[in-house]
Chain A
């Protein structure tokens, strides 16, 4: 088990290998389809993407007295093309679920970024690792708004590393 603290350094990313189990702590940002479509051309970025981690999630509404609702990953492939301009802006890690395109993997390696998988459908478990949550951009997108999350020991698996390792290739 590898413990990581955000923002991630280039060295953090370099040491990770596909199949490693990691626990991430610190600040991460959420964004899915619609937020990505807006962020790529955003002139008034309210968040610092340098060394940042983007989590592909649209949580359920939080119940009164709770920080957030169920918060598991959505399928990452829908963000494959839209993730590239964000890596150009400094994003070094993405958390989602499932396989992604070869073009994405190539771009990810070029930008020395890493792709983590969180267990899909484990939204209740993953919510318990989120210590604070606030919407920082695109409030109108509801569940798809950009949130700043503070996470503690958020469990992920390294899916694609910068050395060509691939969690989904196991034949």
Chain B
């Protein structure tokens, strides 16, 4: 058994959240620069320029990328041979609270659907734990803003609607989201499972590397098709029109019931804040 201290976990989570709220990943920046060069419309170019200029200021560490510093989502893969003093979920919550309080990030979590009192710590986080082989803990950490999250959807399609049905569902979601989801977006799609599993697949798909390719050639082709079709919608950066509506589409799949074809579409705004930490 390998022992990991609660304080070590909290500290890692705190650092990760502060860093990710101030920095856009290099491959996102590269894609935005490419998109800016390829846009024909002056307005679209100007919006992408704002986004690029913004991340230059943010990476100096004073101003977060976006004022919506998100609600924290964590997928924890916990090795069977790891021993933690106390509760892992508590340790991660503590790290998140420290990040938002000490790191001057916005506390955007309210406790009750109608009373809406702020919890003042940006916790609780939304936590998903899986047990895996080994003696490590792997954390996937996202700070998910509400602008794009509110535009996300789940569709319970008929199996015979097939690939065409999936394509329609994704395009419909992105069109209806328009500028409100802060495009250029990344689109996480969960295909299969059931109602909640599809949503989890979509959420986790957003952690995939922007430049990776899906192992399943059928799904890899569908990702490419959707990417092209979404960029033909003309929604454009912040909805002003143009060729750059999405930077990537990532699809994760899971087996499903013979009667079901669940499709979850989780939209991520251009300020994608996702990171992974191994302890």
Taking beta carbons and an 8 Å cutoff, which residues of A are in contact with B?
19, 21, 34, 57-63, 66, 69-72, 74-75, 77, 97-99, 117, 119-125, 127-128, 142-143, 155, 157, 167-168, 170-171
Contact = CB atoms under 8 A, between A and B. Distances in A.
Interface in B235-268: 236, 238-241
Contact of B104 (A21, A62, A71, A74): A62
A69 B173 CA distance: 32
Main secondary structure of the interface of A (DSSP, over half): loop
Interface stretch (B46-54, B83-91, B129-137, B202-210): B46-54
B58 interface: yes
Contacts of A70: 58, 63-67, 69, 106
B278 to A, nearest CB: 28
B106 A99 contact: no
Interface centre among A74, A120, A143, A157 (most CB of B within 10 A): A120
A121 B106 contact: no
B213 interface: no
A57 B147 CA distance: 12
A77 B178 CA distance: 12
Interface residues of B, number: 41
19 contacts: A60-B69, A60-B104, A62-B104, A69-B106, A70-B58, A70-B69, A72-B68, A98-B147, A99-B178, A119-B50, A120-B147, A120-B179, A120-B238, A122-B51, A122-B66, A125-B50, A128-B57, A128-B63, A143-B107
B238 A119 contact: yes
B236 to A, nearest CB: 7
A171 B58 CA distance: 34
B8 interface: no
Interface of B: 43, 46-47, 50-51, 53-55, 57-58, 62-69, 104-108, 116, 118, 147, 150, 178-182, 234, 236, 238-241, 269-271
B239 A121 contact: no
Contact of B106 (A122, A125, A143): A143
A128 to B, nearest CB: 6
Nearest to B63: A124
Contact of B64 (A97, A119, A124): A124
A125 B48 CA distance: 12
Nearest to B269: A121
Contact of B53 (A66, A71, A125): A125
A121 B54 contact: yes
B64 A170 contact: no
Contact of B66 (A34, A77, A123, A167): A123
A157 B43 contact: yes
Contacts of B182: 97, 120-121
B118 to A, nearest CB: 6
A62 B57 CA distance: 15
A144 B68 CA distance: 12
B67 A123 contact: yes
Contacts of A128: 57, 63
A69 B67 contact: yes
B67 A72 contact: yes
A127 B63 contact: yes
A170 to B, nearest CB: 3
A124 B57 contact: yes
A121 B145 CA distance: 10
A60 B180 contact: no
B179 A61 contact: no
A99 B180 contact: yes
B108 A171 contact: no
A121 B271 contact: yes
